[in-house]
Amino acid sequence: MEKCRLIFSGSGGQGVITAAIILAEAAVIYEGRNAIQSQSYGPEARGGATSSGIIISDSEIFFPKVNQPNVLVCLTQESYNKFHTVIRPGGLLITDTRFVQTSRKVDARPRDLPLHYTVMEKIGKPIVLNICMLGAVVGMTNLVKAESILKVLEKRIPSSFMEMNRKALDLGINMGKELAS
């Protein structure tokens, strides 16, 4: 895809901003693309909802705000209720089975994934939920290579945490690939 707009949303502490930064860095540093990543904080931030927008493009990006994402991830009910209406028609709407009830009708491809469940069962540490989510996004979209994300992680985190993160990424990629079509 020449240009992909994404929004990752959830609650503070789920690591959606970190996931967005990792994705943008992977695309730019290891795949030679342009990216912008932003978060806008308004009154909703005081309620605990957090979100981050990412644009990845082959050409220069002039307007950095993500209005209609091709990919929307919602890791809490609150973020789903707030953001589900903004998705681009036909876009990919990824939610977590544990945290979100997807009751609303949207013109999008809904993908309800057991991200939290799988991370807790296979790894036991909720801290890598965001990396598993990133894996699911990559598994579905092929937006960047898994290796590019791993290279960013290697620079950012202590080597003793790499194994856990690699596993979370792989779990996400496999889930994403199964539900890609």
**Burial class, 164, CB count within 10 angstroms (exposed 0-12 / middle 13-18 / buried 19+):** middle
Burial 128-153 (b: 16+ CB within 10 A, else e): bbbbbbbbbbbbbbebbebebbbebb
Q: Which of 17, 75, 87, 108 is close enough to bind a second copy by CB under 8 A?
A: 17
Contact 14, 79 (CB under 8 A): no
Number of residues that bind a second copy (CB under 8 A): 27
Contact 139, 173 (CB under 8 A): yes
Q: Which of 41, 101, 125, 154 is close enough to bind a second copy by CB under 8 A?
A: 41
Binding status of residue 35 toward a second copy by CB under 8 A: yes
Binding status of residue 128 toward a second copy by CB under 8 A: no
Binding status of residue 171 toward a second copy by CB under 8 A: no
Q: How far is the CB of 96 from a second copy (least distance, A)?
A: 22
CA 120 to chain CA centroid, nearest Å = 18
Binding status of residue 25 toward a second copy by CB under 8 A: yes
- Which neighbouring-strand residues pair with 92? 71, 109
53-82: contacts with a second copy (CB under 8 A)? 60-61, 63-65
Nearer to a second copy by C-beta: 13 or 163?
13
Question: Which candidate, 102, 138, 101, 112, places its Cα nearest to that of 27?
Answer: 138
151-170: contacts with a second copy (CB under 8 A)? 155
Binding status of residue 39 toward a second copy by CB under 8 A: yes
Question: Which candidate, 175, 178, 4, 21, places its Cα nearest to that of 96?
Answer: 175
Q: Which of 4, 16, 19, 24 is close enough to bind a second copy by CB under 8 A?
A: 24
Binding status of residue 28 toward a second copy by CB under 8 A: yes
Residue ranges in contact with a second copy by CB under 8 A: 12-13, 17, 21, 24-25, 27-29, 32, 34-42, 45-46, 60-61, 63-65, 155
